[in-house]
Structure 1
């Protein structure tokens, strides 16, 4: 259970992967993983390394990607790497050109790259760049990527897997306006485009994850003792939907949190200012 606490065992349970089904599903197929050099993307790459697939890994850390390629090359999968910051227009264009050099196209796109930022709106008044860079990687980058590769996915009857957050189902929280707005934007985009994509033979899957213990959450001190899913657990969820073709994944308890968000919205909106004030006082 990856050294889960009893709370984490209760919240996240266990997950079983049918390795034979996974290997059969991915044999001869090409899987793109964005944000592949750390956290969920890294663990997913290593999990799929024993399948006879072609993994395309893209991330900003070229040295880490090279080290991963060296390890994965010793196993069953073929691996190609590309170092790029997908927020950078020139690097994105180069990456898209790279993708179009593969005659077999793409079969699975795992849209995992993203950033998180927690900051008070009053500390953001002169930081419009925070909102722009968050939207750039969490929304514009996956949209630009998919617009380019949808013809490949259509040809191969492929799958798009969006790694999202449970916050999309609940009341937005203070201090997270940049992050939640950007994740909501892509979630809505994919849900809107989904019926058209599905009609063309492309499967769309959105995985709404709880807090995951990745490097992205390290700057938020309050998360250190908060129950969090392990990246290995999250990677198994992603791998499983590759052969089940499940359209949505949510934790078992999310429905209760969602109902609470609806029933207690008015109460929360009255009490939230006081909670924010207390939190500021605690942080002084």
Structure 2
């Protein structure tokens, strides 16, 4: 039995391989898909969001940058301008729903609509069940940013997408939603809710050429994992590699992007759930 670090390593390597094969089948480039379109990216001030904003800005998109920290957003905007892109800065605390609604309205007013929404901003929390009995607020705060904020943004931009008969919504989820994430229950539950919602929204909007893509992201070397010693030496994607997966989602617009090993784990979980529970428990006892 291998440990959690090697498991994460294998899943990350599987996604690398799958994305390489996906790119061989692609008929269009990112430039061809997003040039002249408006792309709204949350959590754009650092990490995956920043790398994604730079990639889409360089591809000719009009990029609406959303995050709490205005100074960092403006620094990203400067980088995009240097690449010849067209950035717009929208500082916003997405957990403040009044501010979120005002920001979304301003983006729609400024650009006439959003063609691509990338729900990247998120909160990860690592806390055991026995540490959570009197901390319901952890679940409330996590759902507020990871689920309710994306829902409000989708409700704001989807009507225009349906009217224009085009739209892509990319939701950044976690490999924990496929392989399990004991100790991260609030986080994985909030991400699972977003995927479950979009399974049904996709049915209602498919004839309008609006597509929802869930990216089950493996570990990415960002500030979010920096405090967890278990992951210090584990293989992880760079933010730029993660941005590449998001770009693939916008180009091909698949329903899901996920490592093959993660998909296989879901199948096993349906066939032998008790065995998978035993495996996850062993990982958890090793310190996950």
TM-score, reference length from structure 2: 0.86
Give 1:47 shift: 1.2
Are 1:31 and 2:39 counterparts? yes
* 1:3 aligned residue: none
Q: Which runs of 5+ in 2 are unaligned?
A: 1-8
- Confirm whether residue 246 of structure 1 aligns to residue 254 of structure 2: yes
Aligned residue in 1 for 2:16: 12
Look up the match of 1:179. 187
Counterpart position of 2:168: 159
Q: CA deviation at 1:265?
A: 2.1
Q: Which residue number corresponds to residue 259 of structure 1? A: 267
Structure 2: how far apart are the matches of 1:59 and 1:104?
Answer: 21
Once superposed, what is the RMSD of the aligned Cα atoms? 2.5
Q: Which residue of 151, 154, 157 maps to 1:149?
A: 157
Aligned mate of 1:56, from 58, 64, 75: 64
Q: How many residues align?
A: 274
Detail structure 1 runs of 4+ shifted over 4 Å in the superposition.
6-11, 16-20, 270-276
Deviations 1:54-113 (Å, cap 9, x if unpaired)? 100101111110111112112222110111110112321221221221243111011111
1:89 matched to 2:66: no
Select 2:205's aligned residue among 187, 197, 200. Answer: 197
- Residue 225 of structure 1: aligned partner: 233
| Aligned residues of 2:15 and 2:258 also touching (Cα < 8 A) | no
Equivalent position of 2:133 in the other structure: 125
Matched residue of 2:244: which SS?
A: helix
- Indicate how the Cα distance of structure 1 residues 246 and 259 shifts in structure 2: closer, same or farther if over 3 A, else same: closer
Report the 3-state secondary structure (helix = DSSP H, G, I; strand = E; otherwise coil) of the residue aligned with 1:55.
strand
CA deviations 1:152-180 (Å, max 9, x no partner) are 2113311111111222234x432111111
Within 2, Cα distance between the matches of 1:69 and 1:38? Answer: 12
| Corresponding residue for residue 3 of structure 2 | none
Q: Which runs of 5+ in 1 are unaligned?
A: 1-5
The counterpart of 1:138, out of the listed 131, 146, 149, is 146
TM-aligned CA distance change 1:97 to 1:91, over 3 Å: same
